[in-house]
Amino acid sequence: MTRFIFITGGVVSSLGKGLASAALGALLQARGFKVRLRKLDPYINVDPGTMSPYQHGEVYVTDDGAETDLDLGHYERFTGVSSRQSDNVTTGRIYSDVIARERRGDYLGATIQVIPHITEAIKEFVVSDLTDEDFALCEIGGTVGDIEGLPFLEAIRQLGNDLGRAKCMYLHLTLLPYIPTAGELKTKPTQHSVKELLSVGIQPDVLLCRAERDIPDGERRKIAQFCNVRQDAVIPALDVASIYQVPIAYHEQGLDREVCRYFDIDAPAPNLSRWKSIMDRVTKPEGEVSIAVVGKYTGLLDAYKSLSEALTHGGIANNVKINLNWIDSEIFESEDTVHLLDGVHGILVPGGFGERGVEGKIAAATFARERKVPYFGICLGMQMAVVEAARNLAGIKGAGSSEFGQCQNPIVGLLTEWERDGIIEKRSEDDGMGGTMRLGAFDAVVQKKSRIQDIYEGAEVISERHRHRYEVNLAYEDDLVAKGMMFSAKSPDGVLPEIVEIPEHPWFIGVQFHPELKSRPFEPHPLFTSFIGAAVEQSRLV
Ligand code: GLN
């Protein structure tokens, strides 16, 4: 029997609902339950794939090729459960499905309305694709009171009725702001936010209250009384130094105890030993390395969420703290700024779209290659490293990428055809932008005796997640190989390059996929473990 926990947020956005959901998922898992986490996003885009990372942060890609909200990354990292297409839905997708059904005639004769048609579609989504899960945690994006969120709140309210309250719990995350002049944490915004929830018929069962300092008992009592929640179910969620501390902190405050109590489950205490050992490593590193991330969306770190987490995991694996130096690649487009990279122990050029800043990324790759600093190129970062090698090692004039317009030698070109599970997928230049990239997990065959094969511990075939439209053009392979670059993994049909490396360099690797999406604190991705290991070596030299 699957029980549902609906997680809403109030007072302000950015309270960390995704992390709170992920942490609760991890705690229930640590008590031996099977969990699944889902996100319902009220915005009208069909998925976040067409949104700027500045609007929405990173687009998280699942194995089955869905472009999803970055909270799914938290879910995967905290629970180790791979997310699926069926774990994220938006208003846009719900409406487009309902409208497609209407056009097919599925509702013949009816007037299509938000209630019941849209709410029914949301409810169908919430209960779909579940098998033997003990808990499905469904986070509702946005903040209570948003107009777009109303159909979602109505749907989860109805589910409480349809499935019975014994199978549904409502958890509401709020903020208690601290007012220094009064020297107090204020409960009024929480009271108002619960009122707002009550106005749509939802009585929260547990309140998780974010606060920067201890919540006095008197304030907890007040919240309990005004919000009609038992005092034990008003759980303080105090700020912590590392996100990996959150499950332990919430457990200590009784969050999972309250959930078990609500559902009347007598579960064993959670085994949190692996969370404790992660915390030890995060809080007591033996050294530190500095890594420069040369990218485009450095103004909003959520744009690189999985990347910075994967680097942290690489640090955990090597027992070092990572000092991240975010650098806007455009800075390197004026020549005298490469000294900003002096003394860094590793350079990472992440994925990205569009022409702005690419010459700076190429300059960073030149610096890393020539000065023998570890270089990790991911997706666009790999493509630009190959363009760099084509220009400066192989002397190919006008080497570039057709993503940025016509060029004399398109080292990187539009990908129009690829195979997945025996089926050929085709794209053309005129296709729309939404959901049309090479998306999701694909196998790659690893070259024997390459550094990559060592990193992947001898694996012959690997599977990694993709999200890109362009691809390195194998027509230039021979020229590049002659100058010391190795194409060390390709798609099984040999048509698409997946990994390049420079064997003569201490650590120079470019990958066409996004390894950061599969890195987890308990299983750091081998590429990040190895890259940070190389940075540790580098730190001994400089
Ligand atoms: N813009 C490049 C492409 O579409 C790289 C994409 C990426 O870095 N994710 O191929």
Determine the average pLDDT of the residues in 21-49: 95
> In what order do the strands lie in the sheet containing 320-328?
320-328, 287-295, 346-349, 375-378, 508-511, 497-501, 486-490, 438-446, 461-468
Identify the band that residue 418 occupies on the pLDDT scale cut at 50, 70 and 90.
low
Mutating to test ligand 1, I would choose from 467, 512, 517 the residue with most ligand atoms within 8 A of its C-beta, which is 467
Q: What percent of the chain has pLDDT over 70?
A: 98
Q: Is it the case that residue 422 has pLDDT exceeding 80?
A: no
Report the alpha-carbon distance of residue 386 to residue 382 in Å, rounded. Answer: 6
Report the alpha-carbon distance of residue 322 to residue 286 in Å, rounded. Answer: 11
| H, E, C per residue of 433-500 | CCCCCEEEEEEEEECCCCHHHHHCCCCCEEEEEEEECEEECHHHHHHHHHCCCEEEEECCCCCCEEEE
Summarised one tens digit per residue, pLDDT across range 493-504 is 998 999 999 999
Q: Which amino acid is at 466?
A: H
Is the C-beta atom of 135 inside 6 A of ligand 1?
no
Summarised one tens digit per residue, pLDDT across range 240-281 is 989 999 999 999 999 999 999 999 999 899 999 999 999 988
Please report the pLDDT score of residue 334 as a whole number.
Answer: 77
CA 322 to chain centre: 19
Report the alpha-carbon distance of residue 360 to residue 197 in Å, rounded. Answer: 49
Is the C-beta atom of 517 inside 6 A of ligand 1?
no
- Tokens 């915390």, located at residue: 279
Catalytic residue, candidates 379, 466, 468, 498? 379
| Ligand 1 centroid to residue 60 C-alpha, Å | 14
| Ligand 1 centroid to residue 352 C-alpha, Å | 5
**Out of 111-120, 125-134, 332-341, 413-422, which region has the weakest mean confidence (pLDDT)?**
413-422
Q: Is it the case that residue 180 has pLDDT exceeding 80?
A: yes
Determine the average pLDDT of the residues in 508-519: 97
Report the alpha-carbon distance of residue 236 to residue 170 in Å, rounded. Answer: 16
Is the C-beta atom of 361 inside 6 A of ligand 1?
no
Catalytic residue, candidates 138, 464, 516, 525? 516
Identify the band that residue 435 occupies on the pLDDT scale cut at 50, 70 and 90.
low
Summarised one tens digit per residue, pLDDT across range 370-411 is 999 999 999 999 999 999 999 999 999 999 999 998 889 999
Average pLDDT of the chain is 93
Identify the band that residue 56 occupies on the pLDDT scale cut at 50, 70 and 90.
confident
Mutating to test ligand 1, I would choose from 362, 380, 511 the residue with most ligand atoms within 8 A of its C-beta, which is 380
Please report the pLDDT score of residue 55 as a whole number.
Answer: 79
Summarised one tens digit per residue, pLDDT across range 119-134 is 999 999 999 999 999 9
Q: Atom 5 of ligand 1 has which residue's CA nearest to it?
A: 380
Active-site residue flag, 514: yes
Identify the band that residue 49 occupies on the pLDDT scale cut at 50, 70 and 90.
confident
**Out of 130-134, 266-270, 330-334, 484-488, which region has the weakest mean confidence (pLDDT)?**
330-334
CB 130 within 8 A of CB 2: yes
**Out of 417-426, 442-451, 466-475, which region has the weakest mean confidence (pLDDT)?**
417-426
